[in-house]
Structure 1
Amino acid sequence: MNTLVKPSHQKPPMPSWRDTLKTLWDWRVLCLLAMGFSAGIPILLIFSSLSLWLGEAGVERKALTFFSWAALGYSFKFVWAPLVDRLPLPLLGAWLGRRRSWMLLAQCGVVLAILGMASTDPAAGEDALTRMAMFAVLLGFASATQDIVIDAYRIEIAGPEQQGLLSSAYIAGYRLGMIVAGAGALYLASYWGSSKGAYVFGAWQWTYGVMAAIMVVGMLTTLITREPAASAQAPRQPSGQHLRLLGVFLASVVAFVGVFAQWGNAMGDVKTGPLLGLLLEAVRMAVSLAAAFGVGTVLVKRGLASREQARTTWVMPVLDFFARYGARNAWLLLALIGLYRISDIVLGVISNVFYQDLGFSKIEIANAVKTFGVVVSIVGGFWGGLLAARIGVMRSLFWGAVLSALTNLGFVWLAYAGHHVSGMYVVVAADNLAAGFASAAFVAFLSSLTNVSFTAVQYAIFSSLMTLLPKTLGGYSGGMVDAMGYPGFFMLTTLMGLPVLLLVALASRLQAKTLPNMT
């Protein structure tokens, strides 16, 4: 049964434009801008910039797209988000406070992972490629942890009326970070002499070293900003309980990694097609997660950690969501969250390799995709945010899904057109405008679903679910292209977006009575 209380429709008086512009210089806005910049650096160093590096190093396309799985840390961050939310760090916690200590630790992890990648030449052999993958996984884990803390920090330093402005500042900083890690990395690697036909490891080594140094922006912001009052007032529990809960989590992680690795070793070099391989990987992931859950459950029942603490940490945020929306609505909303971005994320994994295969240089890719495209996506984000406020979140969500699917057809045309620079800019503009629009509507949608009592955890669950299936499918994008060619693959990503339209329509109908302000 849905227990939602209908929100009041009475709105506070709208502030003047002068007062609104003054808030842009609030220390919290500037702080979130810098933190967003820090959060935007790692993702492309795992995704597109790394894919170009590996492509120049001669790594085959099929293996190259498997590296997108390194970003699955973003998809599973809900697992350790409760620990980050509740466990204080020794020494650092006493110095900086609960939020900033975790933020600094995560940023140090990001720097170490980037430097580890910089010290590894993927062309040196299979062992080096494995080492590169491990550093990429560490980067995904540390970056996802940073995102968890920044989300919690943003919510705690300001009231609800300021969250829109802080979110905009964070997203703007994030996009700027993506430009630096995307276009900036390609410019630097090209400047230092590496190209598709003339690979230079030193060029990419220096490039990733510069990216690690740029993370000092976020680290300095963490050190000089203030700790939220809400964090300091959080209830404290005995450190022994925290350590036991952490022990359960680590044992579960070991179980997951062990089963996942053993499955891979058992499969060896068995040849499978893209669809069978996807099915086997889905089973592999499910079995590994079941093993982790089983180990954690057994340890809690044996008394290694408090049952009540484990329930409050991992179970209550989920039960709260189902209690507020009812089982039918909850499952529908979760399906929508898990599939909404599938069309553009699956395509995005292979897009830079596609441009490379068409003969576009790194400079052309940097100019069109990493600079022009990111600026267009910021415009699309503002457009989506304005329309969400004007026509409602669910209507914006629907049109975002339509645009995300239809703009993929532009890639079909470009696949036949070949090295067509003007056409590339048109396709990139349409794709990024649609992606920015859809993202803004989707963030508003996810924010509306959270309960303030579990904001950090529930938002981590939603954002993790959003990327889990698309990034898993994206890991097979190279094999799909090999099997059906680029035009067929892009048609497939367009068709992937069609079920999303039905889910949005059903969610709109079900939520019309419970959440009228969203429709």
Structure 2
Amino acid sequence: MASGTILGEGTRGGFVATMAPYFRARPIAALLLGISSGFPLALLLGTMTFWLAKVGIEKKTIGFAIGLTTPYALKFLWAPFVDRIKLPVLTGMFGQRRAWLFTIQALLFVSVWMLGASQPELHLGVFAFWAIATAFLGATQDIVIDAYRIEILPEDELAHGTANNQFGYRLGAFIAGVGTIAIASPEGFDMGWAMAYGLTGFCILPGLLAALWTGPGLHDKVLSSAPAQKAGAWLESTLIGPFREFLVRRGAVLILLFVVIYKLGDAMGQAMLNPMIVELGFSDTEFIAINKVIGFWGLIVGTALSAPLMAWLGMGRALFVSGALMMVSNLTFAILATQGHSNLWLTIAVATEQVTSGMGLTVFVTYLSGLSSLAYTATQFALLSSLAGVGRTWLAAPAGYFAEELGWAGFWLMTTVVALPGMILLWILWQKGFVVESVRKARAGAETEGAAKPI
């Protein structure tokens, strides 16, 4: 049976040794970038579904409203241009990644403010427009941040930097979820949805500051050393090169299929979690308090354990264990559905979900990061994360219909069953050695590949 770790054999030391890299400069920068990356999608998923449920939008409509996040599933289509197009003036001042980041963040800030002011109960079309605009800009910000994060992290800090980034991502999502609801709620600060969304838009600042502090990424060095190309060759290397390089790898098709379905059960559950909380009669205060205390500390624990988990078990086993734990977390919500308005079971379910999701998402993103060549970081990671978004955006879109037909308990049991094909495919990948081999090959050959291929 294939096994191994992308962290290297020398990292199997004591617990302190596995935790120390979290506090290095570049992993901390990855954490700050994660905050800026995590908040837009949370506003469009958890917070948006809570908002729509509060203003009386029916479950089926809420389920399909998740489709407004489609740009996250299609971002690989414009990622090649983010990889290669230089922005006038700004690229010369800040480098490729940071120029794009600062530009997109300014536009995203405006879009989030407009989304909060859209009043979906009165102007659903206006709301949908600004939701799609925010999704497009948030997805583009993810293209830049994901590529920049991979490029600024050396090999020995990849897992810890990715874990920090995912902690930041979840922290940004936490702010956009619990924080935004607390600002808007009459039981909280009672400032309304427009002000709540607008203030959440300031979550762009941590990523901006981290980019100013850290400096250019490795992609800028590769780009600056590449020879000039004619237009046809530039288009070929920009649009075709990244996909061709990935698809010729052994097991590429199986890996892409695995990326699509691995987190499908978790995605379907997350789409309908907040509407269930509202329907079960939990007050805003109860929801905020449990997420603020239990959810936040569960997030810290789950994310912190992810890098040691990969070091101790290897990538293949870590994916198995975290996937199984995420399935267990869905079962706790099925129990909550049978218990009704139970603060005890909401606490248990939220704690389980945050710990297991913190581990699972970090392990999964580390795996995807290792598959991305430095020559095409933005495009290849965008392709992989877009395919992961297909499960969340399109395959999970009927979640509201299933919740309506099966009831909440039946729905959560179904999401557990839906997760099984991803685990089976992971077993096949692991047996064939693709889980370890593909990651090592991509990371080990990245710099030489980037130098050898024309940009």
SS at 1:450 equivalent = coil
Aligned CA distance change for structure 1 residues 451 and 174 (closer, same or farther; 3 Å): same
SS at 2:249 equivalent = helix
Of structures 1 and 2, the one with the larger relative CO (CA 8 A, separation 6+) is 2
Inter-partner Cα distance in structure 1 for 2:172 and 2:390 = 23
Q: What is the root-mean-square deviation in Å for CA atoms of aligned residues?
A: 3.1
Inter-partner Cα distance in structure 2 for 1:218 and 1:155 = 14
Aligned CA distance change for structure 1 residues 76 and 30 (closer, same or farther; 3 Å): same
Residue 350 of structure 1 deviates from its aligned partner by: 0.5
Inter-partner Cα distance in structure 1 for 2:34 and 2:253 = 31
Residue 385 of structure 1 deviates from its aligned partner by: 2.6
Q: Does 1:444 align with 2:433?
A: no
User: 1:488 maps to what in 2?
Assistant: 410
Of structures 1 and 2, the larger Rg is shown by 1
Inter-partner Cα distance in structure 2 for 1:319 and 1:466 = 19
Query: What amino acid is the match of 1:69?
Result: G
Inter-partner Cα distance in structure 2 for 1:401 and 1:23 = 23
Alignment match of 1:71 (pick from 65, 69, 72)? 69
User: 2:181 maps to what in 1?
Assistant: 186
Query: What amino acid is the match of 1:60?
Result: E
SS at 2:223 equivalent = coil
Aligned CA distance change for structure 1 residues 431 and 8 (closer, same or farther; 3 Å): closer
Residue 425 of structure 1 deviates from its aligned partner by: 0.7
Q: Does 1:320 align with 2:318?
A: no
Which string of whole-angstrom CA distances, capped at 9 and with x for unpartnered residues, describes residues 470-498 of structure 1? 32133221222222221221121111011
Query: What amino acid is the match of 2:137?
Result: A
Which string of whole-angstrom CA distances, capped at 9 and with x for unpartnered residues, describes residues 338-388 of structure 1? 110001111100000001100011222222235522431332233333222
Q: Does 1:391 align with 2:313?
A: yes
Inter-partner Cα distance in structure 1 for 2:307 and 2:198 = 36
Inter-partner Cα distance in structure 2 for 1:223 and 1:77 = 25
Query: What amino acid is the match of 1:423?
Result: W
Query: What amino acid is the match of 1:169?
Result: N
User: 2:50 maps to what in 1?
Assistant: 52
Inter-partner Cα distance in structure 2 for 1:448 and 1:63 = 37
Residue 129 of structure 1 deviates from its aligned partner by: 0.9
Provide TM-score, normalisation by structure 2.
0.86
Which string of whole-angstrom CA distances, capped at 9 and with x for unpartnered residues, describes residues 228-272 of structure 1? 36415515787994xxxxxxxxxxxxxxxxxxxxxxxxxxxxxxx
Inter-partner Cα distance in structure 2 for 1:210 and 1:138 = 18
User: 2:253 maps to what in 1?
Assistant: 331
Contact 1:84–1:102 (Cα < 8 Å) also in 2? yes
User: 1:479 maps to what in 2?
Assistant: 401
The number of equivalent residue pairs is: 435
Contact 2:370–2:439 (Cα < 8 Å) also in 1? no
Contact 1:175–1:378 (Cα < 8 Å) also in 2? no
User: 1:154 maps to what in 2?
Assistant: 149
Residue 449 of structure 1 deviates from its aligned partner by: 2.7
Identity across matched positions, percent:
29
Which string of whole-angstrom CA distances, capped at 9 and with x for unpartnered residues, describes residues 286-307 of structure 1? xxxxxxxxxxxxxxxxxxxx2x
Alignment match of 1:209 (pick from 198, 216, 219)? 198
Aligned CA distance change for structure 1 residues 15 and 491 (closer, same or farther; 3 Å): closer
Residue 315 of structure 1 deviates from its aligned partner by: 2.3
Inter-partner Cα distance in structure 2 for 1:10 and 1:402 = 25
Contact 1:109–1:138 (Cα < 8 Å) also in 2? no
Inter-partner Cα distance in structure 2 for 1:430 and 1:412 = 13
User: 2:234 maps to what in 1?
Assistant: 309
User: 1:35 maps to what in 2?
Assistant: 33
Query: What amino acid is the match of 1:314?
Result: L
Inter-partner Cα distance in structure 2 for 1:169 and 1:352 = 26
Which string of whole-angstrom CA distances, capped at 9 and with x for unpartnered residues, describes residues 145-166 of structure 1? 1121122222333422233333
Structure 2: gaps of 5 or more residues = 441-455
Residue 221 of structure 1 deviates from its aligned partner by: 4.1
